[in-house]
């Protein structure tokens, strides 16, 4: 590292450094991303975080995934390490964006572009925190690992390879922290003030393909029941009478328990005595639809369909693909069995394309969770922290093989409008939210 680079990096603000990351088009597709763009991103990281690259060991895993190790200062050499995670890849950005999504512009106090929140926001905040601590001559008490996978959005091989690498070295982290919940307002009607939602688990994931076969033939003399008709019948049944029951599982119960102090009077009467009102609340949330429903029930969304190649040809084989998110109170096998029972009378075969179980639940108390809360108190003293079950999938569930303390929080203050930018249009992050996230990671690293 030459001194000119150090000076150039020091001349930029955290928001400008995040904007430079956004300019690298590290988009992953199922067939993989452009390695050149990942190399560009790595060069930006080296240039903007010279102390990180001087003092931490860096290993490339699976080509583009990165693992950094910051050796702990002791005194206890057996102290268990901390892993901070973020992913380098982003989803595609199409549609009518207000600004080009990969220009990485800082304007109106915001960093604009794909990945500004998800997840280059976390990537940047983690590196900012470590760089600034290094500049002060600080070191963590126990080893700190930074694990940055390169294909989270496609559930690729980066995170599993990082986990294997750590496993082979006997690393058993006391705390693993990945993206996930955020510091939000107006998440539930009737809840006052801001709430930090901390993912202690995440739903399971199941992609199923249903296939209908027939003799095919000309569309001018169709049989009474066509393959697409049978598949549509399945969709209609699942959507009219969802086969999965809502349940107020222990994670959701604990969330409402911790949320109760921030609730307005009448709501506290409903959500306070959940031992009494639990079944009612479960049905209420299910009836609310959207994210509230997704918290308490396994969901099924049909997302892809295929028939024949021509308008006048009956398909010999037609298929539909469903994406199911398995609630933490169920298993993949139970969900699969129920879907197969629905498919069988319609003479549909069911193929599992991808499946993983809901993640084990990390405790919402104890040393690791308390570290997260203590860092929150330092930076956001007025926020109510609550555990929750993430409805989306992250790389974090892979790390449950290494630790029973895996948490999911993107430590940004995000209102509803900003949250819409994640995987949506006009993703952007206020520079002030980025700087508070840096302070939060600094506090978390210091408390170890």
What are the residues binding Zn ion (CB under 5 A)? 118-119, 179
Please name which of 79, 84, 80 lies closest in space to residue 68, comparing C-alpha atoms: 84
Catalytic-role residue among 37, 118, 119, 152: 152
- Min dist CB 299 to Zn ion, Å, is 19
**For residues 179 and 413, which CB has a smaller minimum distance to Zn ion in the complex?**
179
Cβ-based nearer residue to Zn ion, 114 or 247: 114
| 119/143 with CB nearer Zn ion | 119
DSSP string, 247-315: ---HHHHHHHHHHGGGB-HHHHHHHS-HHHHHHHHHHHHHHH-HHHHHHHS-EEEEEEEE--SSTTB--
**Minimum distance from residue 225 beta carbon to Zn ion (Å):** 42
C-beta of 122 vs 195, nearer to Zn ion: 122
Q: What is the nearest approach in angstroms of Zn ion to the Cβ of residue 56?
A: 23
CB of 28 to Zn ion, least distance (A): 11
CB of 442 to Zn ion, least distance (A): 22
Nearer to Zn ion, 93 or 314 (CB): 93
The pairing of strands 406-414 and 175-185 is: parallel
Is 167 a residue of the active site?
no
Note every long-range contact of 25-29, with CB atoms under 8 Å and residues 24 or more positions apart, other chains counting.
25/102, 26/88, 26/89, 26/90, 26/115, 26/150, 27/89, 27/90, 27/91, 27/92, 27/93, 27/114, 28/89, 28/90, 28/91, 28/150, 28/151, 28/152, 28/153, 28/154, 28/156, 29/92, 29/154
Give whole-number Cα distances, 139 to 76, 81, 308, in Å. Answer: 13, 13, 62
Catalytic residue among 48, 64, 89, 131: 89
Active site residue 89: yes
162 within 8 A of 156, measured Cβ to Cβ: no
Catalytic residues: 89, 152
């Amino acid at each position: 590292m030459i001194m000119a680079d150090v000076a150039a990096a020091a001349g930029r603000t955290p928001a400008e450094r995040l904007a430079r990351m956004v300019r690298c088009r590290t988009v992953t597709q199922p067939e993989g991303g452009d390695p050149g763009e990942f190399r560009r991103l790595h060069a930006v990281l080296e240039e903007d975080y010279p102390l990180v690259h001087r003092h931490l060991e860096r290993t490339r895993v699976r080509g583009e995934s990165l693992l950094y190790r910051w050796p702990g200062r002791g005194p206890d050499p057996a102290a268990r390490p901390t892993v901070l995670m973020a992913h380098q890849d982003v989803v595609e950005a199409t549609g009518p964006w207000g600004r080009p999504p990969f220009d990485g512009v800082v304007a109106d106090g915001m960093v604009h572009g794909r990945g500004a929140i998800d997840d280059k926001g976390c990537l940047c905040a983690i590196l900012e925190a470590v760089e600034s601590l290094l500049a002060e001559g600080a070191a963590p008490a126990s080893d700190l690992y930074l694990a940055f996978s390169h294909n989270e959005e496609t559930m690729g091989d980066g995170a599993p390879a990082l986990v294997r690498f750590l496993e082979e070295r006997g690393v058993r982290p006391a705390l693993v922290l990945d993206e996930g919940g955020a510091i939000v307002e107006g998440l539930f009607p009737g809840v006052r003030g801001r709430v930090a939602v901390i993912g202690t688990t995440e739903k399971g994931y199941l992609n199923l393909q249903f296939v209908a076969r027939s003799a095919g033939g000309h569309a001018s003399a169709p049989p009474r029941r066509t393959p697409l008709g049978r598949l549509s019948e399945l969709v209609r049944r699942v959507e009219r009478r969802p086969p999965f029951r809502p349940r107020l599982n222990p994670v959701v119960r604990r969330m409402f328990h911790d949320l109760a102090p921030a609730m307005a009077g009448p709501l506290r009467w409903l959500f306070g005595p959940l031992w009494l009102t639990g079944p009612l609340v479960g049905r209420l949330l299910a009836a609310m639809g959207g994210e509230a429903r997704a918290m308490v029930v396994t969901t099924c969304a049909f997302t892809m369909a295929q028939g024949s190649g021509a308008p006048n040809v009956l398909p010999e084989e037609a298929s539909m693909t469903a994406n199911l998110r398995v609630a933490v109170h169920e298993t993949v096998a139970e969900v699969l069995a129920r879907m197969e029972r629905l498919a069988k009378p319609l003479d549909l075969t069911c193929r599992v394309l991808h499946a993983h179980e809901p993640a084990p639940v990390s405790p919402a108390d104890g040393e690791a969770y308390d570290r997260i809360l203590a860092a929150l108190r330092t930076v956001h003293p007025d926020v109510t922290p609550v555990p929750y079950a993430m409805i989306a999938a992250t790389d974090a569930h892979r790390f449950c093989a290494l630790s029973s303390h895996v948490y999911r929080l993107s430590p940004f203050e995000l209102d509803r409008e900003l949250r819409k930018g994640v995987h949506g249009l006009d993703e952007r992050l206020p520079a002030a939210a980025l700087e508070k996230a840096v302070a939060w990671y600094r506090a978390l690293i210091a408390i170890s």
